[in-house]
Amino acid sequence: MLCLNSVQHYLIVWTFPTVEGAWESCPGFADYINAGGPGDKFEGFELKYRVCEPVSGSGVAIAVASDIGKVWAHLGPWIKGYGIQFEVTAVVSDAEFAAMWPGVEAAAAVA
């Protein structure tokens, strides 16, 4: 189990460059999901939530990881195998935001 203090949340948005590429990935993705998403959780990485929009060939996921390298390791096979394009953004949970806010507010008051 990952400890909240030792991980970063990541927002992952993906798109296929072509409709054909999205279509060609469907059997592999269905097999991956039916196998229980074997690459969705490993040491230092856990995919928390994923949704996809198959008509446009796009989707969104939330993951937690000890570092960006773990996110890249998870996405690598999809990039290499299907040419999927990913945008990865470090984000914070509501609890993390609430914990950070007093320090941010204090720093802003000094400026």
Q: Evaluate if residue 1 carries a pLDDT over 50.
A: no
Contact 85, 21 (CB under 8 A): no
Per-residue pLDDT, 5: 57
Contact 52, 58 (CB under 8 A): yes
Q: Is 103 helix (H, G, I), strand (E, B) or coil?
A: helix
Chain-centroid distance of CA 85 in Å reads 12
List phi, psi (to 5°) of 95: -65, -40
Per-residue pLDDT, 60: 98
DSSP3 helix / strand / coil % (the chain, rounded to 5): 45, 30, 25
What is the average pLDDT across 27-51?
96
Nearest to 45 by CA among 80, 90, 10: 10
pTM: 0.86
pLDDT tens by residue, 58-96: 999 999 999 999 999 999 999 999 999 999 999 999 999
Per-residue pLDDT, 8: 95
Per-residue pLDDT, 2: 47
